[in-house]
Structure 1
Amino acid sequence: MKINENTLLDGNKVVLVPYTEEHVPRYHEWMKSPELQQLTASEPLTLEQEYDMARSWREDDDKCTFIILDKQRWADSRVEEEQCMVGDVNIFLTDPTDPSLAELEIMIAEPSYRGKGIGKEVTCMMMSYGVTKLGVKKFQVKIGLDNEISIAMFKKLHFQEVSVCKVFKEVTLELTVDESVRKRLLEHTTDMKERDYRQSCSSRQGGLSP
């Protein structure tokens, strides 16, 4: 999406940045993993296809994606941004007749970062962005039935199970954004700051605090 092509979201443990060509090689390596292919229900792409995909994420009006960075590592200007990557988070506007409905996906690709509360923080940050910037009024997630950790996390965030697809072995959960949900989201992300991505990168490369 053009709306977030220069947006950085600064959280407690993570920084969310737009998916650029700089991130593609590491992302491509991640997606060679059969485990991640299964968790994301995706097929492996060639490196060139991955670059095309990154361009479509940036330009398509129905997709919004951020790369998840380890904030502590990213604060060290000696570490390349690609080496700070942890995973990604996406919003798909799946229904052309209802732009307020969004499918949410999150992938913590680096195993060492799982089980540390990062998934919850990123999910709340992305939902807050979706509500305040994209006008999302209902979130939907589709999760593999064997991915019990993700299912439990979304249920803790008050998502309700609406259907189970035995064929695809996945469960669909939904959350309608009413005033109480909106208030809770904003409370969860009270420390989140939105910054200019390119300006932050320039500051970082100059050795200044971003």
Structure 2
Amino acid sequence: MRANENVMIVDDEIVLVPYREEHVAKYHEWMSSEELRELTASEPLSLEEEYDMQKKWQIDEDKLTFIICAYQKPAHETTAGRLHVQEQSQLTMIGDVNLFLKGAPDEDEFEVEIEIMIAVLR
């Protein structure tokens, strides 16, 4: 996740932010759902284990993890891709995106596997 630790992707209705410590409690709440764990082939983890996993993912060189947040671009906003600091605290987590990198970007055999989880429906 080092490659995206300072990357935020902003669209009109969603924002992708790096998975950080402040997201762990909500993420753990989602993953307490047996149905969601089954759909994502995930094992149940304690909250402490979830924090440990987030720290591990944060230094991973072959995985990028973003939290998907719902966002409503203000009507007066015309600049795409920007989000004011005060708006960031108003984002609502709704899922995550994981990108698993295989090989190096400059190699012919480079592959990226993407997993998207929507945990909260609007």
On whether the aligned pair clears a TM of 0.5, the verdict is yes
Question: Residue in 1 aligned with 2:5?
Answer: 5
Partner amino acid for 2:97? V
- Greater share of helix: 1
Higher relative contact order (CA closer than 8 Å, sequence separation 6+): 2
Note the residue ranges of structure 2 that are not aligned, 5 or more in a row: 74-82
CA contact (8 A) 2:15 2:70 kept: yes
Q: What TM-score do the two structures reach when normalised by structure 2?
A: 0.78
Rg (Cα) greater in structure: 1
Summarize deviations over 1:155-191 as a string: whole Å, max 9, x none: xxxxxxxxxxxxxxxxxxxxxxxxxxxxxxxxxxxxx
Question: Residue in 1 aligned with 2:111?
Answer: 101
Distance 1:86 1:98 in 2: 35
Q: What TM-score do the two structures reach when normalised by structure 1?
A: 0.47
CA contact (8 A) 1:93 1:99 kept: no
Summarize deviations over 1:50-76 as a string: whole Å, max 9, x none: 111111221011110100011129979
Note the residue ranges of structure 1 that are not aligned, 5 or more in a row: 114-210
Question: Residue in 1 aligned with 2:28?
Answer: 28
Please tell me the root mean square deviation across aligned C-alpha atoms, in Å: 2.8
Identity of aligned residues (%): 51
Partner amino acid for 1:65? T
Match of 2:97 among 89, 96, 111: 89
With over 3 angstroms needed to count, the CA separation of the structure-2 counterparts of 1:93 and 1:15, relative to structure 1, is same
